[in-house]
Amino acid sequence: MTVSTIILAAGKGTRMRSPNPKILHTIAGKHLIAFGVDLAKAIKSKETIVVVGNENEHATKVALAGEKVKFCTQKSQLGTGNAVKIALDGIKIKAKYTLILYGDTPFIKNKTIKKMISKADRGFEFIFLGFDARKKNSYGKFKLGSDGKLIDIIEKNEPEYNSTNSLSNSGVLLARSPTLADLIQKIKDNNAKREYYLTDVVKLASKHGHPSTYVECKEDECIGVNSQLELSIAEKKFQDKFRERLMASGVSMRAPETCFFSYDTIIKAGCIIEPNVFFGKGVKIQSSTIIKSYSYIEGAHIGKHCQIGPFARLRPGTNLSEEVKIGNFVEVKNATLASLTKANHLSYVGDAKIGANSNIGAGTIFCNYDGKNKNHTVVGDNVFVGSNTSIVAPLIIGNASIVAAGSVITRDVPSESLAIARPIQQNKIGLGKRIMLKLQKISYKIRK
Ligand code: UD1
Ligand code: CA
């Protein structure tokens, strides 16, 4: 069984009312178009062709850089039939079957496509994916013959159209490649919208003696994104599913509806996610860690039994070993913290490697940026950094050393030493009182 995939994505997406291409909007941090590309990968598509338009061509190519996909440009959007024709003209499809997906329909399942393939294996040449709509919609409608086979798809605005006929066309099509390549040339635009309708292949197929049928799936699987509201509905569906899956795998959440995940978030069993936590892309958390409320985490790997937050910000490149504590208003970026190390309050830890069992005091700032370069700091094991310390990178603080509170550290600290880098305190006996009296006299004068 071999399949090539064409993903239609040339449409302007006008209803999004956004200067950005529709298919580059995201669900859980993943571009809409990437859902189709991943589905193609999941079914082991031999080649994947994305049909883009003039407006979104460049941005789509950038977004999909690194993916094994080919691109075709449809200069004017003359309809889905025209888009497929351009893809087939531009690229010689080598597979027995051609799968057509839409760039704005993210939830089609692998197993649904497999069902379609098995119908094709039984001799059907065109298999459309349909769903039973819960309410009236404006999708194309399946017209079935007396034997239940698919004989036509009626588009909105066409005379025969009946919006309450419940079998709606999702748009997804699996076709025998040579037959599709032949019939696509025969599609005409003699309809209300003067568009080349891909769905006209059904009529043409029956005229030329090629059998068509359909596979039915749940409506939820076929939802498309055409507006910002629909994007938010799709996002909600994704998040709800994701939360359910996490909880089923042993993650606790007191208010799951307030926690947001990325498509690639990995959280192991025994973790607790308190309300109002956001996970950006690239987060992996080992078992039994707690993420407290109002934390924002992206690109971070977190070990077992850690405590993060409340109000923690973990940025890309954060790597925490086991039993690490990151407390409130602490930002960590591109930093590795070994086990049992703590940064509990009001700190910035950037571009650093910190050993085990060290303590980063409240208000410690790793001064990593000198205006031009990002500089790196190494802190050893069992180090105690006192509160309100500035560590001016690049430098190394050796094992088991202590940095006195309020220090501005600009040089390496050898192991097992105490570094103090702050002006020496002077106590001037009696001067406090004299100053106070003077100040009070001034304020007395002002009051008079
Ligand atoms: C299409 C189907 C309809 C189905 C509906 C499901 C046709 C004629 N109709 O209608 O039966 O119920 O999808 O959503 O196929 N596109 C291009 N080039 C074009 C036109 C469209 O690449 O010239 C792409 C769009 O970017 C989009 C997809 O094809 O990803 C569907 O286009 P759209 O205009 O939304 O199709 P509908 O008219 O809604
Ligand atoms: Ca549409």
Could you tell me where in the chain the CATH 3.90.550.10 domains are found? 3-222
pLDDT in tens, 293-303: 999 999 999 99
Q: Could you give the angle at the alpha carbon of 369 between the alpha carbons of 367 and 373, nearest 5°?
A: 145
Q: What is the pLDDT of residue 269?
A: 98
Higher pLDDT, residue 366 or 12? 366
Q: Are 333 and 315 in contact (CB under 8 A)?
A: yes
pLDDT in tens, 254-271: 999 999 999 999 999 999
Q: What is the pLDDT of residue 440?
A: 86
Residue indicated by tokens 């003077």: 438
Q: How many CA within 13 A on the CB side of residue 134?
A: 5
pLDDT in tens, 57-80: 999 999 999 999 999 999 999 999
Give me the mean pLDDT over the 428-445 stretch: 86
| Alpha-helix runs per DSSP H in 43-79 | 57-63
| E strand map for 156-240 | 167-176, 212-217
To test ligand 1's pocket by mutation, which of 73, 102, 154, 166 has the most ligand atoms within 8 angstroms of CB?
Answer: 102
Query: CB 217: neighbour CB atoms within 10 A?
Result: 22
pLDDT mean across residues, the chain: 96
Top CATH class of 228-419 equals mainly beta
Phi/psi at 184 (nearest 5 deg)? -60, -30
pLDDT in tens, 174-201: 999 999 999 999 999 999 999 999 999 9
End-to-end CA distance of the chain: 98
Residue 176 alpha carbon to ligand 2 centre in Å: 24
Give me the mean pLDDT over the 310-324 stretch: 98
Q: In whole angstroms, what is the distance from residue 370 CA to residue 393 CA?
A: 8
Q: Is the pLDDT of residue 444 over 60?
A: no
Give the number of the ligand closest to the Cα of residue 8: 1
What is the percent of the chain with per-residue pLDDT over 70, rounded to a whole number? 98
Per DSSP, the three-state class of 201 is helix
Q: What is the pLDDT of residue 445?
A: 63
Q: Are 377 and 391 in contact (CB under 8 A)?
A: yes
Residue environment code for 174-184, b if the CB has 16+ CB neighbours within 10 A, otherwise e = bbbbebbbbbb
Range 186-194, long-range pairs (CB < 8 A, 24+ positions): 187/81, 187/82, 187/85, 189/78, 189/79, 191/155, 191/157, 191/158, 192/155, 192/157, 192/158, 193/79, 193/155, 193/157
User: Cβ contacts of residue 231 below 8 Å, gap of 6+?
Assistant: 16, 25, 27, 225
Residue environment code for 336-348, b if the CB has 16+ CB neighbours within 10 A, otherwise e = bbbbbbbbbbbbb
Enclosing H/E stretch for 231? helix 228-248
What pTM value is reported for the model?
0.93
pLDDT band at 1 (very low <50, low <70, confident <90, very high): low
Give me the mean pLDDT over the 331-360 stretch: 98
pLDDT in tens, 380-432: 999 999 999 999 999 999 999 999 999 999 999 999 999 999 999 999 999 99
Which residues does ligand 1 sit against, CB inside 6 Å?
A: 8-11, 51, 74, 77-80, 82-83, 102-104, 139-140, 153, 155, 168-171, 197-199, 224
User: Cβ contacts of residue 370 below 8 Å, gap of 6+?
Assistant: none
Residue 41 alpha carbon to ligand 1 centre in Å: 22
Residue 24 alpha carbon to ligand 1 centre in Å: 17
Could you tell me where in the chain the CATH 2.160.10.10 domains are found? 228-419
For the ranges 163-177, 287-301, 345-359, 400-414, the lowest mean pLDDT is seen at 163-177
Phi/psi at 335 (nearest 5 deg)? -140, 145
25 is a catalytic site residue: no
Q: Are 130 and 166 in contact (CB under 8 A)?
A: no
Per DSSP, the three-state class of 87 is helix
What superfamily in CATH does domain 3-222 come from? Spore Coat Polysaccharide Biosynthesis Protein SpsA; Chain A (3.90.550.10)
Q: Between helices 32-42 and 110-121, what is the axis angle to 10°? A: 50
Give me the mean pLDDT over the 115-121 stretch: 98
